A and B are shown apart, each in its own frame.
Chain A
């Protein structure tokens, strides 16, 4: 149990130490409890792949995997994820050695401005693992937690289908 950190004059609870396994690497960081997982990744760990689009769990740009499940990193606190495995888009692949889903997004042009793309990619990786890539309609429904204002949706669906091995 984490101790309640005595706050000075009841105003400012001190920062707490949080341990995360981020993209396979054990990381320790000291953050105030009010810091979201998204802000911890972006501002403290320099992992800016996950984007802040709405900060309210309404757009999906901040999607990451926690213990292999896709979540919005903007609506959870870093401290709540103590000890968990966090995978960001950077942990899936690199430009030199992309994940098959990342390669498929390029091949099927599932992006325009690219701001939502990291979230889309992470979400797609999870969707395929969940077994929700059975049909185009199923992909559309299960990718609906990731908004794309440029609306590269048909390319995204094609990329997911191809990466899931369902391209025909």
Chain B
């Protein structure tokens, strides 16, 4: 990797100011993602601004819900008793991610900012519309078993790798962002751009904006939530498909639901049709099957990843059944 400068910021504001003022600067939190970008030539910042010691690692509980510091490590949040009891989808998604060592290093903020694991994106000698617009997408005529089945554009069929983001989408979380012009909140739904946009654009962040926290409302659904990750080996692998679901059942019928899929699109993918299929009905075989079907109704797979449609259908059904069994 190229030589670069390093500075440990004194405050979130100072960090944001440093990066905002220097187009070649970048934040580093846990380091687990950006170091690989540097080694593989996916990024070459001249300055790294360390935001790992800014006290942004608190896990705070209030009546309204949870506030997670962006610098909190995945393992610490997953281990938190309150999180485990009240936000099972969150704890499970975090523990399904990466490995114990990486979870001890990686921050929540960094997790949300992971870039796709698309093999063609990750190796700069491949053409890639996401890296260099207009160069083409080798996934279309190459191996694309891991690629998108929902919401892909003609230019890019990469998928987002985060488990955490999928869980947060099912929890209506909000991302707190700090920039030189102050703070703003972005709904997780809006944090990741939709299809049709420039594939280079991966988040709603502007250069120099720092994720400082994540707000998770407690709401009626969080406690009855679940996460399932389907992967090719027993542990330590990215998702083929993952499902986060949170369901509110009142007097025997579903009053509200959130269902999000991971590993299927360029962003965590909420499936409203699947949620709607549950509303007003008992969480039982019929509604669950309808929801699973609805979840993949819009799927548009490539020849080599049709199997993901079947997994997604099965995984939605499985998560909802498990939530139903837990009551």
A contacts B directly (C-beta below 8 A)? yes
**Interface hit among B46-54, B85-93, B165-173:** B46-54
Residues on A with C-beta less than 8 A from B104 are 69-71
Is A53's beta carbon under 8 Å from chain B?
A: no
In the assembly, what is the distance between CA of A16 and CA of B4, in Å?
11
Is A163's beta carbon under 8 Å from chain B?
A: no
Q: Which residue of B lies closest to A122 (CB)?
A: B101
Residues on B with C-beta less than 8 A from A76 are 30-32, 35, 105
Is the pair A13, B102 in contact by a Cβ cutoff of 8 Å?
no
Q: List 30 A-B contacts (CB under 8 A).
A: A1-B7, A1-B8, A3-B7, A7-B3, A7-B5, A11-B3, A12-B3, A33-B6, A34-B38, A55-B39, A57-B35, A60-B99, A70-B100, A71-B101, A71-B104, A72-B102, A72-B105, A75-B35, A75-B105, A77-B6, A77-B35, A79-B6, A80-B31, A123-B100, A141-B234, A141-B235, A145-B98, A145-B100, A145-B101, A145-B102
Is the pair B39, A80 in contact by a Cβ cutoff of 8 Å?
no
Q: Which residue of A lies closest to B30 (CB)?
A: A76
Is the pair B102, A57 in contact by a Cβ cutoff of 8 Å?
yes
Is A56's beta carbon under 8 Å from chain B?
A: yes
The A54-87 residues at the B interface (CB cut-off 8 A) are 55-57, 60, 63, 69-72, 74-77, 79-80, 82
Residues on A with C-beta less than 8 A from B2 are 34
Residues on A with C-beta less than 8 A from B100 are 70, 123, 126-127, 130, 132, 142, 144-145
Is A113's beta carbon under 8 Å from chain B?
A: no
The A1-57 residues at the B interface (CB cut-off 8 A) are 1-5, 7, 10-13, 16, 32-34, 36, 55-57
Known: A5-B5, A79-B6. 16 other contacts (CB 8 A): A1-B8, A11-B3, A34-B1, A34-B4, A56-B39, A60-B99, A70-B100, A72-B102, A75-B35, A76-B32, A77-B28, A77-B31, A77-B48, A144-B235, A145-B101, A145-B102
Residue in B4, B50, B99, B236 whose Cβ sees the most chain A Cβ within 10 Å: B99
Residues on B with C-beta less than 8 A from A36 are 35
In the assembly, what is the distance between CA of A155 and CA of B205, in Å?
47
Q: Which residue of B lies closest to A13 (CB)?
A: B5
Chain A's nearest CB lies how many Å from the CB of B86?
Answer: 21
Q: Which residue of A lies closest to B10 (CB)?
A: A1
Which 10 pairs from chain A and chain B are nearest by CB? A145-B99, A33-B6, A144-B235, A13-B5, A76-B31, A69-B104, A75-B32, A144-B236, A145-B101, A75-B35
Chain A's nearest CB lies how many Å from the CB of B299?
Answer: 30
Is the pair A13, B4 in contact by a Cβ cutoff of 8 Å?
yes
Chain A's nearest CB lies how many Å from the CB of B106?
Answer: 9
Residues on A with C-beta less than 8 A from B264 are none
Count of chain B residues with Cβ under 8 Å from any Cβ of A? Answer: 34
Residues on A with C-beta less than 8 A from B10 are 1
- Interface residues of chain A, those whose CB is within 8 Å of chain B, are 1-5, 7, 10-13, 16, 32-34, 36, 55-57, 60, 63, 69-72, 74-77, 79-80, 82, 123, 126-127, 130, 132, 140-142, 144-145
Chain A's nearest CB lies how many Å from the CB of B173?
Answer: 26
Interface string of B258-284 (1 = CB under 8 A from A): 000000000000000000000000000
In the assembly, what is the distance between CA of A7 and CA of B10, in Å?
21
In the assembly, what is the distance between CA of A132 and CA of B104, in Å?
14
Is B188's beta carbon under 8 Å from chain A?
A: no
Chain B's nearest CB lies how many Å from the CB of A6?
Answer: 9
In the assembly, what is the distance between CA of A10 and CA of B22, in Å?
13
Residues on B with C-beta less than 8 A from A132 are 100
In the assembly, what is the distance between CA of A11 and CA of B9, in Å?
22
Given contacts A56-B39, A60-B99, A145-B101, contact A75 B7 (CB under 8 A): no
